[in-house]
């Protein structure tokens, strides 16, 4: 698909250009025909390659910026859907490895503090999904953010070597810092990512690559 002169490959999602409140945006939803979901095998069937990714881009270090909004699908195929939406990066050619940071906007305004603590998530596909990181890293790859469903959320991710720093809604201080990314790809494409039960909308997408030293 093409959006504002940017060409994307569609990977395990349904994607289209649409209007949201009069604005032209990208809509992305997980395609359950291409990649089935099983709530009884949650760890095995979420945090997968479910995104549209930019064609012919090799991104290693730099800055990724986008505005995103998520809604829960009605009916939702997953009772515990959280509006999962985010960015995948350093995606290799066959989509078998990448890093990602995503949001669970429902959790950001929850009354339960445990849920709030899991509003922002990092993972590295395929080895380090949310469940393994939660078990082994004791919250190091998740955090809280004041965000919600049905609202535009601005994110900026600064990536350098093994470190990723996330800024939300133009705050001066980072909302989330990943000091040691787990992915094994050093460069690759960038993807607009969603997961189960989510209607994801994206706009104002841009990225800047850090020049690589020769």
Q: pLDDT band at residue 214, thresholds of 50, 70 and 90?
A: low
Check whether 124 has a pLDDT greater than 70: yes
Predicted TM-score of the model (pTM) = 0.96
Residue at 162 is within a domain: yes
Report the C-alpha gap between 151 and 132 in whole angstroms.
Answer: 30
Q: What is the mean pLDDT of residues 64-84?
A: 95
**Would you state the structure tokens that stand for residue 11, as one six-digit string?**
């990977």
* In a domain? residue 214: no
CATH number at residue 156: 2.60.120.560
pLDDT band at 81 (very low <50, low <70, confident <90, very high): very high
Mean of pLDDT values over 137-157 = 96
Query: Domain span at residue 120?
Result: 2-208
Q: What is the tens place of the pLDDT at every residue in 86-96?
A: 999 999 999 99
Mind listing the pLDDT tens digit for each residue in 150-201?
A: 999 999 999 999 999 999 999 999 999 999 999 999 999 999 999 999 999 9
* CA dihedral of 173, 177, 97, 187, whole degrees rounded to 10: 60
pLDDT tens digits for range 2-44: 898 889 999 999 999 999 999 999 999 999 999 999 999 999 9
Q: Would you tell me how many other CB atoms lie within 10 Å of the CB of residue 185?
A: 19
* Averaged pLDDT, 130-149: 95
**Cα within 13 Å of Cα(121), Cβ side:** 30
Do the domain assignments include residue 140?
Answer: yes
Q: Coil, helix or strand for 105?
A: helix
Structural domain total, the chain: 1
Return the pLDDT at 193: 98
Report the share of the chain in percent with pLDDT over 70.
99
Residue entry with tokens 């990536």: 159
CB-based contacts of 128, cutoff 8 Å, min separation 6: 182, 183
Residue 213 falls inside a structural domain: no
> Percentage of the chain with pLDDT > 90?
94
């Amino acid at each position: 698909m093409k959006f504002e002169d940017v060409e994307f490959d569609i990977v395990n999602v349904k994607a289209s250009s649409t209007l949201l409140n009069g604005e032209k945006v990208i809509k992305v939803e997980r395609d359950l025909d291409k990649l089935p979901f099983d709530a009884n095998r949650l760890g095995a069937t979420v945090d997968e390659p479910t995104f549209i990714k930019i064609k012919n881009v090799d991104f290693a270090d730099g800055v990724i910026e986008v505005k995103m909004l998520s809604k829960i699908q009605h009916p939702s195929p997953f009772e515990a859907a959280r509006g999962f939406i985010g960015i995948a990066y350093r995606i290799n050619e066959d989509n078998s490895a990448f890093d990602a940071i995503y949001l669970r906007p429902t959790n950001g305004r929850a009354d339960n503090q445990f849920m709030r603590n899991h509003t922002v998530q990092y993972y590295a596909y395929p080895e380090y999904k949310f469940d393994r990181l939660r078990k082994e890293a004791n919250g190091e790859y998740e955090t809280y953010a004041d965000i919600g469903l049905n609202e535009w959320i601005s994110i900026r991710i600064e990536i350098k070597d093994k470190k990723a720093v996330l800024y939300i809604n133009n705050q001066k201080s980072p909302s989330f810092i990943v000091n040691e990314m787990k992915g094994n790809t050093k460069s690759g494409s960038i993807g607009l990512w969603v997961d189960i039960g989510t209607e994801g909308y994206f706009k104002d997408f841009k990225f800047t690559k850090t020049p690589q030293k020769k």
